[in-house]
Amino acid sequence: MTGKLRVSIGQFSDRGHKETNQDFYGALVPEEPDLGLKGVAVAIADGISSSDVSEVAAESAVKSFLLDYYCTSPAWSAKTAAQRVIAAANSWLHAQNQRSFRAYEKDRGYVTTFDALVLKGAQAHLFHIGDSRIYRVSGASLEQLTNDHRVVISSKESYLGRALGVNAQVEIDYRAENVVAGDVFILATDGVYDFVEPASVVKTIREAADLDSAARKIGEEALSRGSDDNLTIQIVRVEETPRAAASDVAQGVANLPSPPMLEARQEFDGYRILRRLHSSARSHIYLAQDIDSGAIVALKAPSVDLRDNAAYIRRFMLEEWVARRLTSAYVLKASPVERPRNFLYVAFEYVEGQTLAQWMIDNPKPQLSQVRDIVDQVARGLTAFHRKEMVHQDLRPANVMIDRAGVAKIIDFGSTRVAGVAETANAEANAEVLGTVQYTAPEYFLGEGGSARSDVYSLAAMAYHMLTGRLPYGAQAAHARTRAQMKRLAYTPARDSGRDMPAWVDGALRKALAIDPAQRFAEPMEFANALRNPVIDGEPSRLIERDPLKFWKMVSALLAAAVVGLLFVVARR
């Protein structure tokens, strides 16, 4: 990285004229790698005044958010991670209420407003429940970025329409904003913002020696202007944003030199090379044995020709990062790292078998049951990706291994899109098409990016290829780059290949291979299950496609009836 996120934070809280302070606040600025992968988190909560335990709710909500957010998977986006942590906090608070008399008196329970600001990369992620507020300094005034969840009955009476702890489920307002160095965000409870003018807040921040002093002065001004509530304010100024993508998840290792071409019986970085498994213009893979443990591994090293390609090196190192965060029998595992590396390479488990591409050559006309088994296993592997908010993006026969026991494993994660990493990278990198054209979902070529449904398309394209020996849209799909061209693509029914298969199997393939992602199965296992069981909405809508024989029998019957009718008319004349 050539730069990193840097912020300044000022905070102030006081009970004001009340006996206790039912507000709570906090902020956490972690060290790397969490700073690049998870960002800076700031949170504020305001317990409802009618409850004598709401300060417990406010403290619990803020502390659990700041601690648990950094325990979530670094592969998750900030939105997913934060929303799941907030939902968990809400469930705990609601459960405490349900276990006591407060289940029937919610205004006396563990109830609090909650707002959080996560600064990650060059974006601000806002999460809001209740009537605390988040502002951004805009010129000489403030821009309110949240909407109060307060229901107004009259000029003197109102109540919270949404808060943590009230219901078993909580609706969270989410908003993302781009940030630049110099941006200032403010989190405040109503004891502050109801009594201080926005222009005064901005003036105080600009004139104060530091942000803590500014926060204190603003709080004291609100108190002097008649605030009768607890007062809490947080000020966050962005001093610097990352000038390089936080997707450099293995930046220290990525600076290592690429290894030379390796030969059998050569000792290399604690391994003994046994033989070369595969070589291409992009990488070299060797079968090796760990000299200390005796373990057999596959070493993957980048091509010497690409050692100066920063984007390729980032993707190369992302493979190991991804593999270490997935647990599935159907996904290639990374080998344990037990000593420092002196060269740039990754070590994976060795899968003794063949690629699906080779298997398809050896089995040109597989049984439907064989295809179902392979699809089922690959679908389970993809599910492991999707649960971590990862999209493989380059699923094809060459990237699936079939071992001697018939177990299918997904390999090669260099094109994987990780939501938690992608949201810190630049838009150009996120829009790059990394997959193989024949199996890549159409939306990538329109610049729309991928999703779990894109992996479903690739999986279905492989299944179609195994069953028919061809691709679903032929050679046309490789040249379609506009919506108009996409609309002209015509799906060729799998049954046209002469294979004996149920119409509903072809219907499942058709649905999974729809040009429009919204019309596909949402998850890989839905498609895998549809290949084994009839799915009504996966069948073709036209009778001629569902059952051609029945269609032509009906046409013949109608024609025969028409002929009889004509003969009857002629006879009467």
Residue of higher predicted confidence among 547 and 508: 508
pLDDT band at 392 (very low <50, low <70, confident <90, very high): very high
Same domain, 377 and 394: yes
Same domain, 320 and 360: no
pLDDT score at 425? 60
Residues 6+ apart with CB under 8 A from 334: 320, 323, 324, 346, 347, 348, 349
pLDDT over 70 at 163, yes or no? yes
**Signed CA dihedral, 443, 445, 448, 452: sign only:** positive
The residue among 306, 321, 349 that closes a domain is 349
pLDDT over 90 at 155, yes or no? no
The residue among 240, 264, 298 that closes a domain is 240
Distance CA 553, CA 550 (A): 5
> pLDDT tens, 515-559?
999 999 999 999 999 999 986 444 444 555 555 666 677 878 888
| CATH (domain of 323) | 3.30.200.20
Q: What is the mean pLDDT of residues 7-32?
A: 95
Residue of higher predicted confidence among 12 and 418: 12
Residue of higher predicted confidence among 496 and 323: 323
pLDDT over 60 at 267, yes or no? yes
Q: Detail the DSSP E strand segments found in 130-270.
A: 133-138, 141-144, 150-152, 158-160, 173-178, 184-188, 231-240, 267-268
Q: Does residue 137 fall inside a structural domain? A: yes
Q: Does residue 261 fall inside a structural domain? A: yes
pLDDT score at 1? 41
Q: Does residue 154 fall inside a structural domain? A: yes
Same domain, 421 and 305: no
Same domain, 78 and 164: yes
Same domain, 446 and 500: yes
Q: Does residue 145 fall inside a structural domain? A: yes
Q: Does residue 42 fall inside a structural domain? A: yes
Quick one: tokens of 372?
A: 């179902």
pLDDT score at 307? 74
> pLDDT tens, 411-425?
999 889 988 877 766
Same domain, 459 and 368: yes
Nearest to 416 by CA among 338, 331, 543: 331
Same domain, 358 and 345: no
pLDDT over 60 at 502, yes or no? yes
> Alpha helices of 363-471 — where are they, by DSSP H?
368-387, 419-422, 427-431, 442-445, 452-468
Q: Which of 123-137, 163-177, 245-259, 350-364 has the lowest mean pLDDT?
A: 245-259
- Percent helix, percent strand, percent coil in the chain, to nearest 5: 40, 20, 40
Q: What is the mean pLDDT of residues 19-33?
A: 94
Same domain, 63 and 105: yes
- Residue carrying structure tokens 């599935």: 328
Distance CA 30, CA 18 (A): 34
Q: Does residue 246 fall inside a structural domain? A: no
How many structural domains comprise the chain?
Answer: 4
Q: Which of 292-306, 356-370, 467-481 has the lowest mean pLDDT?
A: 467-481
pLDDT band at 103 (very low <50, low <70, confident <90, very high): low
Q: What is the mean pLDDT of residues 136-163?
A: 88
pLDDT over 80 at 475, yes or no? no
Distance CA 106, CA 124 (A): 33
pLDDT score at 547? 56
| CATH (domain of 207) | 3.60.40.10
Same domain, 207 and 304: no
> pLDDT tens, 110-129?
999 999 999 998 899 999 99
Percent of the chain residues topping a pLDDT of 90: 62
The domain in which residue 490 lies consists of 354-541
> Contact 244/184 with Cβ under 8 angstroms?
no
Same domain, 148 and 235: yes
pLDDT score at 108? 84
Q: Which of 258-272, 297-311, 432-446, 467-481 has the lowest mean pLDDT?
A: 432-446
Q: Does residue 1 fall inside a structural domain? A: no
Distance CA 193, CA 214 (A): 14
pLDDT score at 266? 94
pLDDT band at 426 (very low <50, low <70, confident <90, very high): low
Q: Count CA atoms closer than 13 A to 52's CA, side-chain side.
A: 1
Q: Name the DSSP class of 259.
A: P
> pLDDT tens, 275-296?
999 888 888 999 999 999 999 9
Residue of higher predicted confidence among 476 and 506: 506
The residue among 349, 376, 397 that closes a domain is 349
Q: Does residue 325 fall inside a structural domain? A: yes
Nearest to 127 by CA among 83, 183, 178: 83
Rg value, the chain, Cα: 30
pLDDT score at 132? 96
Contacts of 406-409 spanning 24+ positions with Cβ under 8 A: 406/373, 407/329, 407/330, 407/377, 408/330, 408/356, 408/374, 408/377, 408/378, 408/381, 409/329, 409/330, 409/331, 409/332, 409/351, 409/381
pLDDT over 50 at 247, yes or no? no
pLDDT band at 246 (very low <50, low <70, confident <90, very high): very low
Same domain, 275 and 416: no
Go through the chain and tell me how many residues it has. Answer: 573
Same domain, 141 and 95: yes
